[in-house]
Amino acid sequence: MSLQYGMKTLAIASVIMAAGLTASGVALPAAAYADNHMQKMTVEADNELEWRRDDQQYIARGNAVITTKDMVFNASIITAHYDNSANTGNNRITLIIGDGKAEVVRLNEQGNEDISGMADRITYDRASDIMTLSRQKNSSDNDMIRVTRGDDISEADESIVYDRNKGIITSTGNSITTLADGRRMHGDQAVTTLKDDGSTIDTIIVTGQVMIIQPMAEGGTQQATGQKAVYDAALDIVTVTGDVVLTQQENVIKGGTAVMRIGEGQSVVTSDENTGRVSGQFFIEDNNN
């Protein structure tokens, strides 16, 4: 069975039953609302809102927006899957999928933007509190997957998975993590672990074809390539391992491990059992010419 509503800028606060309304659309008593830990969820769309009862879905089309107390989710089409197996008269939203220029903003307890994301498709599993941002097969190279936390940005070609409970963001496929100080971390994959506040970085682990680009206080940049990089935010140190090449202008140092301390303007390259001795090539001024 399918029930459709169509109008320009359709705003339905009662259609999603987890919003504290019964299946008949009658508001629940305040006590029932509190006991069930429900919250109001508002759906808006330019074109139509379809309720597929047999499939247990709500589908909003045309600049669709879902709003809750801690999230604003918009896309060309949003599909919300629900479960009514508890027979409480309320439909519990289990999964939200946004297709087409999807964007989401998570809000903190004060109602301010905490973390945001954009992608071709965003899938949000409410039970696990995991959000997956991905690229569709027919998307152009210009379409990006991005998650922003304050001035820190994670980007990727394939997917970004944000596990809010664990505070982990996993970026896969030509991953680029840009920090507030301008430092960029490239790799096949980056795993960013956040602190308990849910927005401040604790560590970043980048693997596969790693490149660290670090701005220097005196101007220019310093680059390090390798197979793995670990960023410790508390110490403000990036450690790069695996056939490391450290480059600053024409100067090159090769070794097994590079420890980059941006705050101190210092980088140290050491050897390991695979690379043997550390080697360097430096260009210096020749006053005799």
92-109: average pLDDT: 91
pLDDT of residue 166: 94
Reported for 184-187, long-range contacts at CB under 8 A and 24+ positions apart, including other chains, are 184/212, 184/213, 185/210, 185/211, 185/212, 185/213, 185/229, 185/231, 185/238, 186/210, 186/211, 186/212, 186/213, 187/211, 187/229
If pLDDT is split at 50, 70 and 90, which confidence band does 134 have? very high
What pLDDT, on a 0 to 100 scale, did the predictor assign at position 23?
32
pTM of the model: 0.82
Minimum mean pLDDT among 115-124, 137-146, 161-170, 178-187: which range?
A: 137-146
Domains located in the chain, CATH noted:
1-143 (2.60.450.10), 157-289 (2.60.450.10)
Q: Which of 1-5, 97-101, 183-187, 229-233 is the least confident region? A: 1-5
Residue 214 has pLDDT above 90, yes or no: no
What confidence tier does 100 reach under pLDDT thresholds 50, 70, 90? very high
Q: Could you tell me the pLDDT band of residue 192, with boundaries at 50, 70 and 90? A: very high
User: Which residues make beta-bridge pairs with 214?
Assistant: 222
More confident residue, 84 or 1: 84
User: What does the pLDDT average to over 105-111?
Assistant: 84
What pLDDT was estimated at residue 4?
Answer: 53
Measure the CA–CA gap between 83 and 22, rounded to whole angstroms: 14
Closest CA to 37 of 28, 46, 45: 28
Sign of the Cα pseudo-torsion (64, 66, 71, 72, in order): positive
Check residue 77 and give its pLDDT: 97
CA distances to 55, 165, 257 from 229, in Å: 46, 24, 10
Element (H, E) at 176: strand 168-178
Cα(28)–Cα(19) distance, rounded to whole angstroms?
A: 10
Handedness of CA 277, 283, 287, 289 (dihedral sign): positive
**Closest residue by Cα to residue 15 from 55, 59, 46, 54:** 59
Residue with the bigger pLDDT between 210 and 251: it is 210
Please give the pLDDT value at position 287: 63
Q: Measured between alpha carbons, how far is 53 from 37 in angstroms, rounded to an integer? A: 24
pLDDT score of 140 more than 60: no
| Per-residue three-class SS string for 43-54 | EEECCEEEEECC
Q: Cα–Cα–Cα angle for 245, 247, 252, nearest 5°?
A: 75
Give the other-Cβ count within 10 Å of 154's Cβ.
26
Q: What does the pLDDT read at residue 136? A: 78
